Amino acid sequence: MNETLRTILSRRACRSFKPDLIPEDILQQILEAGTYAATGMGRQSPIIIMVTDKKLRDELSALNAKIMGTKMDPFYGAPEVAIVLADKNRPTHVYDGSLVLGNMMLAAESLGIASCWIHRAKEEFELPEGKAILEKLEIKGDYEGIGHCILGYAAKPAGKAAPRKKDYIYRIG
């Protein structure tokens, strides 16, 4: 089996992280992989906001938790969060942003970094608090939150993959 397929088959969502930050060179590789995701007509509608600042990370976590209706940390202690947003004016923006997230999670796995896709970015950046964060960061545009890619070192080994469902693939011909 080649290395790419091995990475795809071994990647698992992580929900327990160590507080250690990822070295900048590794983080940069993960982000760059996101920028090479396929996008509709090659228009590159997404943007990535890489949050390594603990104060902003905690603010986003609290906002996400509020939307979820919980007090737990929806980022599971991950010290770093890559937020993917995409231009709402592109008909493929949700798909484009989803592929960016997928590329980053696979790149992270290949580099020994744990990850997990966390939802509610759409709701976060529709709220006044989320809009204020974008304004403070001087990010202009008509963006929709697609998701968060939480990143860090796993606090415990990943579990085994669930068996694939029987009727996952239909072959015709």
CATH of 3-152, one of 3.40.1380.20, 3.90.1580.10, 3.40.109.10, 3.30.230.10: 3.40.109.10
Alpha-carbon dihedral angle through residues 18, 123, 53, 78, given to the nearest 10 degrees: 0
pLDDT band with cut points at 50, 70 and 90 for residue 137? very high
Angstrom distance (rounded) from CA 38 to CA 103: 9
Say what the pLDDT of residue 38 is: 98
DSSP annotation string for 21-39: PPPHHHHHHHHHHHHTS--
**Which of helix, strand or coil describes residue 47?**
strand
Identify the band that residue 148 occupies on the pLDDT scale cut at 50, 70 and 90: very high
% the chain with pLDDT above 70: 100
Q: How does pLDDT run across 79-133, given as a tens digit for each residue?
A: 999 999 999 999 999 999 999 999 999 999 999 999 999 999 999 999 999 999 9
Q: Which residue type, as a one-letter code, is found at position 141?
A: G
Q: What is the dihedral of CA 33, 104, 49, 28, to 10 degrees?
A: -50
In the block, residue with structure tokens 């990010």: 139
E-strand stretches of 41-123: 46-51, 80-87, 114-118
